[in-house]
């Protein structure tokens, strides 16, 4: 191999760990993965993968849920409320109004 240059990147530790776990399963080092990525940029003359927003989650229609799915959602909502993760509507309205400057 010829001369090399160093590339330093700051990433969130959790992201690095997740990427490293996948790369380990593939038998590829982080440096090799970065080199593969960087080599593709001049070859394709663009970012080698599409960067886009994730697909928006569609609202659920009650009629499209099975009884089990509906019950699971209701149990999840009840647990969130019991755990104090929910806000009463009047408090929510005040918080949103304050956040958007009304």
Instruction: Give residue-wise pLDDT tens across range 35-64.
Output: 999 999 999 999 998 888 777 777 778 788
Cβ-proximal residues to 70 (8 Å cutoff; 6+ apart), any chain: 62
- What average pLDDT does range 21-46 have in this prediction? 94
pLDDT at 1: 60
Cα 56 from chain centre: 12
Instruction: Tell me if 80 sits within 8 A of 86, measured CB to CB.
Output: yes
Instruction: Tell me if 30 sits within 8 A of 19, measured CB to CB.
Output: yes
Name the residue with tokens 């659920």: 60
Confidence check: pLDDT of 75 > 70: yes
């Amino acid at each position: 191999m010829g001369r090399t240059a160093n590339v330093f990147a700051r990433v969130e530790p959790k992201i690095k760990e997740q990427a490293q776990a996948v790369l380990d399963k593939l038998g590829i080092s982080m440096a090799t993965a970065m080199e593969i990525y960087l080599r593709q940029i001049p070859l394709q003359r663009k970012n080698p993968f599409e960067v886009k927003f994730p697909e928006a989650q569609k609202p659920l229609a009650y009629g499209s849920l099975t009884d089990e799915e509906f019950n699971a959602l209701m149990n999840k909502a009840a647990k969130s409320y019991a755990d104090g993760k929910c806000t009463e509507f009047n408090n929510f309205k005040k918080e949103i109004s304050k956040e958007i400057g009304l």
